[in-house]
């Protein structure tokens, strides 16, 4: 059984769907571990091909309460969106939805007396789940990361400060040094007419990439270093993670460059013969099956037969 649920987070009305475990009311979920599925990129909470809805139905049949919520500006939830999709993607990649996801998870746990919640999603939803779990690992039971992307989306000049590679930026150090020593330049900075925040971000990213190389890891210059560090933080704390990809192309990068030796609680899974959205071939069936198996291994729930028997007796 499904029902609609609304939750107020930071003054925004977020709308979601609840999958009740085996037809139970949510009053029966006290003390259980549930799953909160976040938007797959900019798609509504059902996911493309209703993939998230299928996952919710499958896990609910195994005794798990499942919540699918639209984050601000998406689906049925209130909120503003940028005009260009690349700007939205970059907002998500930099953790723009992490705070709302954290507060939403905490409010659902409190409202329904859950033990904890697993956070999950595909692509952008996986990125938000990683950021939110890293912010509050004591509340989040685990992370379901389907096709997480660790490369930043470039922004065109008309969409914001022009992106440049770290090497290009370092080549302009002399020009930036002259600006830093210029009284006129500082006048523009304090009057809000200068984009030094962009330069500070590039400098921070350059330092992070340099530190990675010093440690023997070579990340691409357009790598999302902040997301890499959050993923490592979760792995070091042994927060259970299921990372699913469509094929083996990104597995070596995840194992060697992102996680290194800190992957004791991480399970990698690959599904061949499908696409990035897992809606081609047997992608939907295989993904749902792998997620159900991982959830039951990590957070055993009452078997469906026990739940059905209890309902019949009641």
What does the DSSP 8-state code read for residue 151?
B
- Domain presence at residue 228: yes
Give the separation between CA 50 and CA 187, rounded to whole angstroms: 53
55-64, 122-131, 178-187, 262-271 — which is least confidently predicted? 178-187
Q: What is the pLDDT of residues 10-66, one digit of tens each?
A: 889 999 999 998 756 666 566 789 999 999 999 999 998 899 999 999 999 999 999
- 107 and 175 part of one domain: no
Q: How far apart are CA 290 and CA 282, in angstroms?
A: 12
With respect to residue 219, please indicate whether it lies within any of the assigned structural domains: no
Query: What residues does 223 pair with on adjacent strands?
Result: 151
Residues 136 and 208 grouped into a single domain: no
Q: Do 28 and 100 have their domain in common?
A: yes
C-alpha distances in Å from residue 133, one per residue of 28, 128, 143, 200, 270: 25, 8, 7, 26, 23
Structural domains counted in the chain: 2
- Domain hosting residue 293, numbered range: 2-153+224-313
Q: Helix, strand or coil for residue 123?
A: coil
State whether 136 and 247 are in the same domain: yes
Is pTM beyond 0.95 here?
no
Q: What angle is formed at CA 258 by the lines to CA 252 and CA 259, rounded to 5 degrees?
A: 90
Average pLDDT over residues 125-150: 94
Residue 172 sits in the same domain as residue 265: no
Residue 180 in this model has a pLDDT that exceeds 70: no
Q: What average pLDDT does the segment 196-220 reach? A: 54
């Amino acid at each position: 059984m499904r029902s609609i649920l609304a939750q107020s987070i930071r003054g925004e009305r977020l709308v979601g769907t609840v999958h009740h475990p085996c037809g139970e009311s949510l009053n029966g979920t006290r003390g259980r571990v549930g799953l909160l599925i976040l938007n797959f990129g900019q798609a509504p909470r059902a996911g493309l091909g209703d993939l998230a809805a299928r996952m919710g139905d499958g896990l609910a049949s195994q005794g798990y309460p499942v919540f699918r919520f639209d984050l601000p500006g998406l689906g049925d939830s209130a909120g503003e969106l940028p005009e260009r999709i690349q700007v939205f993607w970059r907002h998500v990649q930099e953790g723009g939805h992490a705070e709302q996801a954290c507060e939403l998870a905490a409010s659902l746990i409190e409202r329904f007396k859950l033990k904890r919640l697993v956070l999950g999603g595909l692509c952008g939803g996986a990125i938000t789940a990683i950021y939110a779990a890293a912010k509050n690992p004591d509340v989040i039971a685990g992370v379901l990361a389907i096709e997480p992307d660790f490369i930043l989306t470039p922004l065109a000049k008309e969409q914001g400060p022009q992106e440049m590679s770290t090497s290009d930026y370092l080549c302009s150090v002399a020009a930036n040094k002259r600006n830093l020593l210029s009284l006129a330049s500082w006048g523009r900075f304090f009057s809000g007419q200068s984009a030094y925040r962009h330069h500070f971000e590039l400098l921070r990213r350059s330092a992070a990439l340099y530190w990675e190389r010093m440690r023997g890891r070579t990340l691409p210059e357009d790598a999302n270093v902040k997301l890499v560090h959050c993923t490592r933080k979760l792995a070091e704390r042994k927060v259970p993670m299921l990372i699913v990809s469509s094929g083996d192309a990104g597995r070596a990068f995840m194992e060697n460059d992102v996680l290194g030796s800190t992957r004791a609680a991480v399970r990698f899974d690959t599904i061949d013969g499908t696409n990035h959205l897992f809606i081609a071939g047997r992608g939907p069936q295989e993904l749902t099956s792998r997620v159900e198996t991982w959830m039951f291994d990590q957070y055993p729930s009452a078997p469906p037969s026990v739940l059905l028997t209890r309902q019949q007796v009641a």
